[in-house]
Structure 1
Amino acid sequence: MSLRTPPTLRIAPAPDDPRLTRAVTARDASGAEVALRVVEERPLTIWLNSREIVTAMTIGDHPEWLALGFLSNQGMLKPSEEVTGVDFDAETETVVVRTAVETDHEAKLARATRTSGCAVGTVFGDMMEGLGDLTLPPLALRVSELRALSQAINRTPSLYLEAGAIHGTCLCRGAEPLAYFEDVGRHNAVDKLAGWMRVTGTAAADKTLYTTGRLTSEMVIKCALMGIPALVSRSGFTAWGVEIAERVGLTVIGRLKGERFLCVAGAERLVWDLPDGAP
């Protein structure tokens, strides 16, 4: 069966973009020489006003959306804060996000002990605090739509199918994929999506977030803070991720492959619309 991009996709992977992969030569198990393409990694440094926040390794596409999404998902950029500019410099691989009013996160990071994780512990604590009394709107998920969604995404041309070693994240409405991003880190892919949603004003309450990566606590928190009420993955999950999902009313489905899946949170919101024994 030939692969094709679903017609509903507004943003699709770009497996043919020469900037995103590099040609290398390998030898297979028989010793034969094999030509293949591997995914590029580039450092992207994100600034918020006058403060350097983090340097992330990324494939290099959509840097502005990645920066906006990262800052939003980390609680450093509130939905109500006015962004006056997002400037990307390709030569220095730097994005500067500017706001109308100076934020207080620059000073907080200046006081934090920076490690190779770029003060992730401090930032993660802020993300947890951002959950507060958050309760996501209920969203009914049809089992038939989950199956159709899995098939549509798996058949979409992507860097994963072209070169591997990459994660994908797709915003969906029902069985329709809407925006599909890829990156070497699953968090980066989600942040790109968050930035795109912020810029386009895309509503979250009726959407599902599909990811190829495992559903850790941080992934659950990101999804919740984005206001998306359902999180689906073809991979597994962690206990803390499940606990947080139950707390905020997030439906979590993992190990979605073909006709099989496991719903570990929000099963009461599933609509079992397939007849018994349906393929």
Structure 2
Amino acid sequence: MPDRLPDFHVKPDPQDPRLSTPVTGRDQNGNEVEIRVVNERALTLYLNAQEIVTMMTIGDRPDLLAVGYLLNQNMLKADDRITGIDHDEDLDVVVVRTERETNYEEKLKKKVRTSGCAQGTVFGDVMERFDEIALDPEARLRTSWLYALTKKINTQPSLYLEAGAIHGCVLCQEDRAVAYMEDVGRHNAVDKIAGWMWLNGISPADKTFYTTGRLTSEMVIKTAMMGIPILVSRSGFTAWGVELARRVGLTLIGRARGQRFVVLSGAERLIYDMEASEADGEDARHRRKGARNAEDAA
């Protein structure tokens, strides 16, 4: 029996002064206003002595981002032993050290630019591993859990609600939102969750992954590579994202807002135990704010 994880075991801290900056401007009526805008900084990742990539990020949880990125790019193996993770905040560098010697010079030449914001990238051999993925066919998602999750996530205090221009990703178990990560790029938020799962030995088999961003090929690839069988978004789909989800047997649910959703792949995992009309949706204020900030982050 998988461990039962608590609600928001990891959650955003919208009041962290390192993550956003107050900026003064004027509104549509010429009145002076002050809003918070998300900070963005470069973080260069090294694997042992080799420079891998420079990422644009809000700067929190660099250890999780680094490990998750390397896992999702197939540069860290399941049986690798990490001997150290060093972050130099002044130099904006994070170094992941492993017991195994690594050299990815050839791999780094084969890059594919994805549709993810902030210039997401996957490497050529990732798709070779994608076709070998086996997702748990017994995983299930009750509609009552889905309605509870969308309300919980969309009303949780976050930079997404506070400032916009940012993406959120949430690891869920049944009706509980377990780990909520944010970043300027949806791929970074995914990688932080991948890093957290790997470093804490969290099983993916009974989990659902929620994102505020579009259901693109990159989101499908990363979710499947993490071994998570169900992917949900309040946003829409791309055709290649749907095609890849069907190819690997991933349950793909989009446009999940209030009491509505659409499933385009893996509908057999859904259990319709609650009518949409019975669900307790988020209030109008959060729906408007979420819709506005989704447009900012797109």
Regarding TM over 0.5, the answer is: yes
2: CA distance between counterparts of 1:44 and 1:238? Answer: 29
CA shift, 1:113, in A, is 8.0
CA shift, 1:75, in A, is 0.8
Q: Unaligned stretches of 5+ in structure 1?
A: 1-6
- In structure 2, the partner of 1:35 is 34
Deviations 1:69-122 (Å, cap 9, x if unpaired)?
A: 00100111111111111110011010011111112324432x55899x99977x
Read off the aligned partner of 1:98 and give its amino acid letter.
R
CA shift, 1:223, in A, is 0.3
- In structure 2, the partner of 1:45 is 44
Conserved? CA contact 1:50–1:106, under 8 Å = no
Q: 1:150 to 1:119 in 2, by over 3 A?
A: closer
2: CA distance between counterparts of 1:277 and 1:150? Answer: 15
- In structure 1, the partner of 2:168 is 168
- In structure 1, the partner of 2:295 is none
- In structure 2, the partner of 1:238 is 238
Q: How many residues align?
A: 270
Within a 5 Å distance, the mapping from 1:137-156 to structure 2 comes to 137-138=136-137, 139-156=139-156
- In structure 1, the partner of 2:77 is 78
Please give the secondary structure, in 2, of the residue aligned with 1:105: coil
Conserved? CA contact 2:141–2:174, under 8 Å = yes
- In structure 1, the partner of 2:16 is 17
Conserved? CA contact 2:160–2:166, under 8 Å = yes
Read off the aligned partner of 2:256 and give its amino acid letter.
L
Please give the secondary structure, in 2, of the residue aligned with 1:194: helix
- In structure 1, the partner of 2:107 is 108
2: CA distance between counterparts of 1:65 and 1:113? Answer: 22
Read off the aligned partner of 1:215 and give its amino acid letter.
L
2: CA distance between counterparts of 1:88 and 1:107? Answer: 26
Deviations 1:242-273 (Å, cap 9, x if unpaired)?
A: 11111111101000001000000011111011
Read off the aligned partner of 2:30 and give its amino acid letter.
G
Conserved? CA contact 1:58–1:183, under 8 Å = yes
- In structure 2, the partner of 1:3 is none
Deviations 1:160-219 (Å, cap 9, x if unpaired)?
A: 111111100000001100000000110000000000111111110000000000011111
TM-score w.r.t. length of structure 2: 0.86
- In structure 1, the partner of 2:7 is 8
Q: 1:231 to 1:107 in 2, by over 3 A?
A: same
2: CA distance between counterparts of 1:253 and 1:26? Answer: 38
Conserved? CA contact 1:14–1:159, under 8 Å = yes
Give the fraction of aligned pairs with identical amino acids, expressed as a percent: 59
CA shift, 1:125, in A, is 2.2
Report the aligned-residue RMSD. 2.1
Deviates more, 1:125-134 or 1:202-211: 125-134
2: CA distance between counterparts of 1:128 and 1:14? Answer: 35
Instruction: Indicate yes or no: 2:221 matched with 1:221.
Output: yes
Instruction: Indicate yes or no: 2:178 matched with 1:181.
Output: no
2: CA distance between counterparts of 1:178 and 1:78? Answer: 24
Q: 1:120 to 1:262 in 2, by over 3 A?
A: closer
2: CA distance between counterparts of 1:67 and 1:120? Answer: 14
